[in-house]
Structure 1
Amino acid sequence: MMLFDTPIETIYLITLIVAGILTILYLLFGDILEVITEAISFVHPVLILSFITFFSASGYIFEVLTSFNSLLIIGISIVFSFLLTTLLNVFVLIPISSAEESLSYTEDSLKGRVGKIIIPIPENGFGEIIIDSKSGMISKPAAAYEHQPIEAGMQVLVIEIENGVLYVVPYETDLDAEYSV
């Protein structure tokens, strides 16, 4: 089949090369385009580029290896690329997007957490605290909420956060208070 005086195999191959180049550019500069694509949440550039790539690759392969009618090949390629794009979305993109969110934290999510002082906090001064997290240890500057000194190694409770500094108070569990008599 000829389209615009060009064999359809050539059109498939050029489309495959262009989609590959656009995919690489999206990988490099995708963060810039996120602002634009957030407005249209159901149209994801990765899904569009993968559909075009699967369509052109399957169309080229079927044109070269089979003797089917070109319109039948276009139909088969559309169904094939739709299925592969759906599988890519369901089994790769959705799990990756939810995994990224579960590993991150906000400063507000640290309120009410218990940590351990690693650099002592002097009266009206600053020290350092570590808090266990799912993704590892979080180390942040800390100050005493009531402006009293807190020694290294003590467990503390995060009360407030201002300008990246965690304001803490000494923390005793009920178990510690029961056995300290």
Structure 2
Amino acid sequence: MTLFGYPIETIYLILLVVSGVLTLLYLFFGDILEGADEVSPFLNPVLILAFITFFSAGGFILEKVTSLNSYLIIAISAFISLLLDVLLNVFVLVPLKSAEQSLSYTEKSLEGRVGKTIVSIPTEGFGEVVIESYSGMISKPAASYENTSISEGAEVLVIEVKNGVLYVVPYKPSFK
């Protein structure tokens, strides 16, 4: 089969090379199109480029290996590409998107959390507190909220955060 005066294998190969180059460009300059998937999840550049890559690679391989009709090969390639695109989205892109958001924290989100002092906090000075989170341990400078000394290894409750410093009080759990 010929398309635009070229054999269909050549069209598939050109599509494969172009989608590969565009994928590399997106890898380096993808921040420009960061919000495109917010408008519609179907306009995600990663999914579009993956579909074109899967389609052209599948079509090229099927044209070279089988003697099926070119229209049937186009249908099979489109179906397989759509299936692989859905799998890529569901099992790779969606979990990555949610994992990226859960690894970050704000200073405001530390308020109300319980931590442990690793450097004792003097009455008028600073110590250090460690707070466990999903992404690991968060170590921050700390001062006493009530201007009392807090010994090393004590559990503390973060009352507020100002200028990167946790203001804490000794933690006394109500239910033990």
TM-score by length of 1: 0.85
Paired position in structure 2 for 1:179? none
Unaligned regions of 5+ residues in structure 2, if any?
none
Structure-2 separation of matches of 1:89 and 1:37: 12
Structure-2 separation of matches of 1:72 and 1:175: 68
Task: Assess, with a 3 A threshold, how the Cα gap between structure 1 residues 65 and 175 changes in structure 2: closer, same or farther.
Answer: closer
Q: Is the contact between residue 128 and residue 141 of structure 2 (CA under 8 Å) also seen in structure 1?
A: yes
CA shift at 1:124, angstroms? 3.3
Structure-2 separation of matches of 1:80 and 1:174: 58
> Which region of structure 1 is more displaced relative to structure 2, 65-74 or 81-90?
65-74
Matched residue SS, 2:43: coil
Structure-1 separation of matches of 2:35 and 2:43: 13
- Aligned AA for 2:86? T
Matched residue SS, 2:34: helix
Structure-2 separation of matches of 1:163 and 1:32: 32
Task: Assess, with a 3 A threshold, how the Cα gap between structure 1 residues 124 and 39 changes in structure 2: closer, same or farther.
Answer: farther
Paired position in structure 2 for 1:125? 125
Structure 1 stretches of at least 4 aligned residues deviating more than 4 Å after TM superposition: none
Q: How many residues were matched structurally? A: 176
Structure-2 separation of matches of 1:41 and 1:124: 53
Map 1:149-164 to 2 at 5 A: 149-164=149-164
- Aligned AA for 1:2? T
Map 1:27-176 to 2 at 5 A: 27-174=27-174
> Which region of structure 1 is more displaced relative to structure 2, 79-88 or 123-132?
123-132
CA shift at 1:25, angstroms? 2.3
Structure-1 separation of matches of 2:62 and 2:41: 33
> Which region of structure 1 is more displaced relative to structure 2, 20-29 or 36-45?
36-45
Matched residue SS, 1:38: helix
Structure-2 separation of matches of 1:86 and 1:28: 24
CA shift at 1:37, angstroms? 4.1
2:18 pairs with 1:18: yes
Question: Between the two proteins, what is the percent identity of the paired residues?
Answer: 65
Unaligned regions of 5+ residues in structure 1, if any?
177-181
TM-score by length of 2: 0.87
Structure-1 separation of matches of 2:65 and 2:24: 28
